[in-house]
Amino acid sequence: MTTRSADPDPSMATRSKSSQRWLKEHFADPFVKKAQVEGMRSRAAYKLEELIERDRLLKPGMTVVDLGAAPGGWSQVVRRDLGDRGRVLAMDILDMPPIAGVDFIHGDFREAEALSRLEALLQGAPVDLVLSDMAPNMTGVDTVDQARAMYLSELARDFADAHLKAGGNFLIKLFQGEGFDAYVLDLRRRYTKLVIRKPAASRRRSNEVYALATGKR
């Protein structure tokens, strides 16, 4: 008796081709190459670098919290630009190799236990700047991914509400889609100014943008 192998799954072939295209684009990306040359942990570092320069986000002595920090590109930039003055606290569900001068909490920001550890490190000190580059694991189902992304955004907003000092600033990655407009409108009520940025290092095809809310009310 002979047997015949199962027909290949067309969706798997499509994903394979898509992955190959992504890898080819990734390694040809000038920001990826720049990160490798300059020793930055991710190309995302250049998104924050542009925003810091454009909007003058950092001052010596600031306390900065970096949510969704791994692999550490944003924390690298903040620690470098603050020099020896100020504190950087970072958290991610993924582990992150140590960065000198950065206090890292390995935990799930959605869980009370991880948030408590972050708050313990703060010791009640007010925060000057909250950064959130958090994103959910993508399923490929737009409605599911957008709902998960908005949930993380709401948690980050609530953390900023609780810990930012009056006049403090909040920078967050958002994905345009269901819930985006309402979220931005809500931030406008909580801060004196809000702008939407699309840094050069953010890929054009991506629906990600960065909301910068300044002057917490």
Active-site residue set: 173
Q: Is 108 annotated as a binding residue?
A: yes
Up-side HSE of residue 92: CA atoms within 13 Å toward CB? 25
User: What are the residues facing 31 on neighbouring strands?
Assistant: none
| Cα torsion 138, 142, 144, 149: sign | positive
Cα–Cα dist 6/112, whole Å: 46
Does residue 215 have a known ligand-binding role? Answer: no
Q: Is 72 annotated as a binding residue?
A: yes
CB count within 10 Å of CB 197 equals 15
Question: Cα separations (Å) of 41 from 16, 92, 129, 162, 207?
Answer: 26, 15, 21, 30, 23
Q: Could you tell me which residues are annotated as the binding site for S-adenosyl-L-methionine?
A: 72, 74, 92, 108, 133
